[in-house]
Amino acid sequence: MGAHAKTWDSDLYQSSHSYVWQYGRDLLALLDPKPGERILDAGCGTGQLAAEIARAGAEVVGVDASTEMIAGARKNYPEVRLEVADATALTFTEEFDAVLSNAALHWIRDQSAAIASIYRALKPGGRFVFEMGGHGNLRDALEAGCAALRALGVAAPEQRIPWYFPTIGQYAALLESHGFELRFAALFDRPTALSDGENGLDSWIKMFGNFAFSAVSIERHAELIRQWEQFGRAKLYRDGGWTLDYRRLRMLAVKL
């Protein structure tokens, strides 16, 4: 994942937020890894997709900016090559037949640097297959979170949101400006039911809500969660659990 101040709890990520990589399995059909190919998993998290690529017979390298995630991945898959590395500053040059990235690019502030770094890592004709948060991702969830922050006296909470959720057109232009040719693009809704029932949103905020927690004192974290749940319940809570309004951007581009 890209550079950010978040400290990751890899066990919580793996137990309560496994949907991140389970949904990412759909990407593997688009990636279509072949025996003998060399493939980079950029933002590999706790390693599940990297391991599945390896099972397809490809040689895989998984990288993530989080030392906690890589530690968890190495524990899970000691047979896979896994390294701590930032997607904006990869050290590979024309080494890979393909690069996969799932649910990582939207964390990166310098998108241009990440795309240039990935382009450099690919062989000519190599493919870049990725999925990230797309335009409108988590609109209702983040509106509730910002309302909660305002209720606690935080000004301009929208400016604290750390993610980049582009349209197809915005990201296509970025890719093309760095020499990629876009071959496939889709922006689609993917409502995602959280595990943990009534506590699902609480768990999600503790995993991904550092931007909100950092705006208030630790003594007010419980109140922030309570307010977030209150503002979000009408749109996000149904049938005894929380469902977040995820939207995903999925693309395949080729290095010319």
Is residue 227 within 8 A of residue 151, CB to CB? The reply is yes
CA atoms within 13 A on the CB side of 34: 6
Tens of pLDDT, residues 164-173:
999 999 999 9
Nearest alpha-carbon partner for 46 in 4, 27, 18, 86: 18
- Cα torsion for 148, 213, 218, 11, to the nearest 10°? 120
Q: Does 3.40.50.150 match the CATH number of domain 10-255?
A: yes
Contact (Cβ atoms closer than 8 angstroms) between residue 111 and residue 7: no
pLDDT tens-digit profile, the chain (256 residues): 333 334 434 454 454 445 566 677 789 999 999 999 999 999 999 999 999 999 999 999 999 999 999 999 999 999 999 999 999 999 999 999 999 999 999 999 999 999 999 999 999 999 999 999 999 999 999 999 999 999 999 999 999 999 999 999 999 999 999 999 999 999 999 999 998 899 999 999 999 999 999 999 999 999 999 999 999 999 999 999 999 999 999 999 999 9
Query: In angstroms, rounded to a whole number, what is the distance separating the alpha carbons of residues 33 and 182?
Result: 19
136, 110 in Cβ contact below 8 A?
no
* Reported pTM: 0.89
Give the pLDDT confidence of 30-89 residue by residue, as tens digits. 999 999 999 999 999 999 999 999 999 999 999 999 999 999 999 999 999 999 999 999
What residues are paired with 237 via a beta bridge?
242
Structure tokens at 218: 């630790």
Amino acid at 193: A
What pLDDT was estimated at residue 16? Answer: 45
Sign of CA dihedral 158, 159, 163, 169: positive
Tokens of 67: 């030392």
CA atoms of 218 and 205, how far apart (whole Å): 14
